Amino acid sequence: MRAQPDAFASVPPVDPVCQASQYSPSRLLRPAEEMRRQIYFGLMSQIACTYGIPVGLFDAMIIQESRYDASIYSPKQAYGLTQLMPATALGLGVNRYDVEGNLRGGATYLRQQLDRFGHYHLALAAYNAGPGRVKNGRIPRISETQNYVSNILSNWTMLTGLHRRSSIVTGAAAVPASDRTVSVTRF
């Protein structure tokens, strides 16, 4: 059984010696999507490391957000690989139309949520629904957000075998212990 990320684990401090991961096919995407992922993987991995985000988590989030389509708009006008909203990009001081700016903006915003909420599942919910909707340590009762968190954690689990180097320091191994499981509780 493959080791699985612990969604309810506290977020550890940033690893100052993080190294970007090597590309491996995800088996989660169609061929054209996987080709885009391969193009952006090095930059994504480097930026994840810079912001102290596990590469597999950031990768799984981008797969969920845009399937690595750098020019995709959502119906709500979010844009790019990390689907930044106009106000979020403006507040972060990044150009959401620039691939690197979009990745840095998404990483900055995710890092802010990780620092604020201290748990992966809550940070992902805040990234999707907005931090004001994550209250009392619970994922909001929004099916889109609940599915979003569940899908990313599931994909991160699948990608964990591909990304053996964690971009965070923990008291345990770089990959969480194999007896842990990921579960998302719906309230």
Query: Active site includes 33?
Result: no
| DSSP for 154-176, written as a single string | HHHHHHHTT--S-SB--SS-SS-
Active-site choice (33, 34, 65, 100): 65
| Residue among 110, 93, 19, 98 nearest 57 (CA) | 110
Q: How far apart are CA 123 and CA 120, in angstroms?
A: 5
Active site residues: 65
